Amino acid sequence: MAGMTDRIAKLQDLKLYQELTWDGSFEEYLDLVRKRPEVTRNAYQRAYDMIISYGTEEYIDNKKKLTRYNFFKDDEGEGNAIFGLDIPLMRLVHVLRAASEGYGPEKRVILLHGPVGSSKSTIARLLKQGLERYSRTTEGALYSFDWVNLGDTGLAGKDSDRFPSPMNEEPLRVIPQEWRKKAIDELGLSNDNYKVKVEGDLDPASRFIFKGLMTMYKGDWGKVVEKHIRVRRLVLSEKDRIGIGTFQPKDEKNQDSTELTGDINYRKIAEYGSDSDPRAFNFDGEFNIANRGMVEFIEVLKLDVAFLYDLLGASQEHRIKPKKFAQTDIDELILGHTNEAEYKKLINNEFMEALRDRTIKIDIPYITKVSEEVKIYEKDFNKEKIKGKHIAPHTLEVAAMWAVMTRLEDPKKHNLSLLQKLKLYDGKALPGYTQDTVKELRKESKREGMEGISPRYVQDKISNALVNDDGEGTINPFMVMNELEKGLRHHSLITNDEQRKKFSEVISLVKREYEEVVKNEVQRAISADEDAIAKLAANYIDNIKAYTLKERVKNRYTGQDEEPDERLMRSIEEKIDIPDSRKEDFRREIMNFIGALAVDGKKFNWSTNDRLRRALELKLFEDQKDSIKLNTLVSAVVDKNTQEKIDIIKSRLIKNFGYNEVSATDVLNYVASIFARGDSKE
Q: Which residues of 507-531 are buried (b: 16+ CB within 10 A; e: fewer)?
A: bebbeebbeeebbbbbbbbbbbeee
pLDDT of res. 441? 87
**DSSP class of 247:** E
pLDDT digits (tens, 9 = 90+) for 389-426: 899 999 999 999 999 999 999 888 768 899 999 999 99
Residues 368/404, Cβ–Cβ less than 8 Å = yes
* CA neighbor of 431 nearest in space, from 444, 415, 442, 446: 415
Q: How far is residue 218 from each of residues 211, 227, 546, 666, measured CA to CA in Å?
A: 10, 14, 103, 89
Task: Provide Rg for the chain, Cα atoms.
Answer: 34
- Weakly modelled stretches of the chain, pLDDT under 50: 1, 634, 679-682
pLDDT of res. 482? 92
Residues 672, 673, 676, 680, CA torsion sign: negative
Cα angle at 574 between 570 and 577, to 5 degrees? 145
Q: How far is residue 210 from each of residues 283, 322, 440, measured CA to CA in Å?
A: 17, 19, 63
* CA neighbor of 109 nearest in space, from 289, 313, 262, 306: 313
pLDDT of res. 33? 96
pLDDT of res. 679? 47
Mean pLDDT of the chain: 86
User: What does the chain come to in residues?
Assistant: 682
Residues 587, 593, 596, 597, CA torsion sign: negative
What are the DSSP calls for 139-208, one per residue?
TT-EEEEEE---TTTTTT-TT---EE-TT---GGGGS-HHHHHHHHHHHT---SS------S---HHHHH
CA distance 401 to 423: 9
pLDDT of res. 680? 45
Q: What is the dihedral of CA 98, 99, 102, 105, to 10 degrees?
A: 100
Helix-helix angle 477-487:395-407, to 10 degrees: 40
**Bridge partner list, 572:** none
pLDDT of res. 632? 52
pLDDT of res. 521? 85
* CA neighbor of 164 nearest in space, from 265, 286, 23, 258: 23
pLDDT digits (tens, 9 = 90+) for 34-62: 999 999 999 999 999 999 999 999 988 87
* CA neighbor of 291 nearest in space, from 181, 209, 202, 358: 202
First and final CA of the chain: distance in angstroms?
73
CA distance 528 to 520: 12
pLDDT of res. 255? 65
Residues 374, 376, 380, 382, CA torsion sign: positive
pLDDT of res. 253? 59
pLDDT of res. 568? 85
Q: How far is residue 138 from each of residues 48, 153, 485, 564, measured CA to CA in Å?
A: 16, 36, 52, 72
pLDDT of res. 481? 93
For 60, other C-beta atoms within 10 Å of its C-beta total: 9
pTM over 0.75: yes
Q: Which H or E element spans position 338?
A: strand 333-338
Residues 506/410, Cβ–Cβ less than 8 Å = no
